[in-house]
């Protein structure tokens, strides 16, 4: 959690956890206590800004809808609810790491499954869509997918 001072709100008198008002003992402002004096302890008001949230979200895949725990990172830029934020979750197939582009919220993702690492929708400079690393080829390859076979070793 981060906090940002809200200058549009007036300063308020500082309190204890129990809500008792705090006062400076004298004009030198070195000690505080709850006994009333002519010197109230005044503080700025702050807005809390979440920079990491853990929650359950509904994720829809080819099988149906699944409620999964997600971790959302970043405060975002405010253009869309997710723009300039990252999200991590585990779906039925594997681990998903997402980033939503600043200002637009366009999704970039990396999926790690038993079949390898995929970058869905990546069109890259050469039109590369997905990268799979592992001993077996992907089960549903698409045009411009790259499979890196890890079984053969190095051939001289």
Residues 108 and 59 in one domain: yes
Residues 118 and 70 in one domain: yes
User: CA distances (Å), 109 to each of 45, 123, 133, in order?
Assistant: 38, 12, 16
Euclidean distance between CA atoms 21 and 6, whole angstroms: 21
Residue 114: its pLDDT value, please?
87
Residue 61: its pLDDT value, please?
86
State how many domains the chain has.
2
Q: Is residue 1 part of a domain?
A: no
Residue 132: its pLDDT value, please?
83
Q: Is residue 116 part of a domain?
A: yes
Residues 27 and 64 in one domain: no
Residues 108 and 134 in one domain: yes
Contacts for 22 with CB less than 8 Å, ≥ 6 apart: 13, 14, 15, 16, 32, 33, 34, 40, 41
Residue 62: its pLDDT value, please?
87
Chain segment 93-121, per-residue pLDDT in tens: 899 999 999 999 999 999 998 887 887 76
0.85 exceeded by pTM: no
Q: Is residue 24 part of a domain?
A: yes
């Amino acid at each position: 959690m981060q906090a940002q001072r809200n200058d549009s709100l007036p300063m308020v008198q500082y309190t204890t956890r129990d809500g008792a008002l705090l006062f400076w003992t004298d004009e030198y402002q070195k000690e505080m206590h709850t006994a009333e004096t002519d010197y109230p302890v005044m503080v700025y008001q702050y807005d809390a800004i979440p920079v990491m949230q853990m929650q359950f979200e509904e994720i829809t895949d080819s099988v149906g809808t699944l409620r999964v725990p997600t971790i959302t990172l970043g405060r975002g830029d405010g253009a869309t609810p997710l723009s300039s934020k990252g999200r991590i979750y585990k779906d039925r197939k594997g681990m998903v790491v997402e980033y939503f582009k600043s200002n637009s919220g366009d999704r970039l993702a990396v999926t790690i499954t038993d079949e390898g690492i995929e970058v869905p929708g990546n069109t890259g400079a050469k039109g590369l869509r997905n990268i799979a690393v592992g001993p077996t080829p992907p089960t549903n390859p698409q045009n411009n997918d790259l499979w890196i076979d890890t079984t053969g070793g190095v051939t001289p």
